Amino acid sequence: MQPANAYAAQCPTRLVLDRVADKWTVLVLGLLAEGPLRFNELRRRVEGVSQKMLSQTLKGLERDGLVTRRAYATVPVTVEYRATPLGHTLSATLDPLRIWAETYIAEVQAAQRRYDAVA
């Protein structure tokens, strides 16, 4: 295998990138990596997500083997989501990104202001 040819059209990396490349995946996975959560708990914690998007995101994560869904036969139903081991490894590699964001966000915003001031 070539060393990191993520630029070719069908490189698998693209698939993962596309997966991560949505507003909610990273947030949801990060939360689940801390511990199992129920649907509406997630909904509350990830501010701004609609239940449609959350539902969709969770389904995608489940399909990719990053999260598991378990339903308990209580009344009403209880559904619990948790990160798989694979999901944990991904969440862990995403941590540096979260940290980068916190570290440099001010710089980015300053750059934006500078740019917008000119334009």
Residues 52-81 that bind a copy of itself (CB under 8 A): 62-66
Minimum CB distance to a copy of itself, residue 25 (Å): 9
Local structure of 25: helix, strand or coil: helix
Residue ranges of alpha helices (H) inside 1-119 are: 12-20, 25-34, 39-45, 51-63, 85-118
The residue range among 6-14, 75-83, 99-107, 108-116 that interacts with DNA, by the rule CB under 7 A, is: 75-83
Task: Decide if residue 58 touches DNA (CB under 7 A).
Answer: yes
Under the rule (CB under 7 A), what is the footprint of DNA?
22-23, 38-41, 48-53, 55-56, 58-59, 69, 76-81
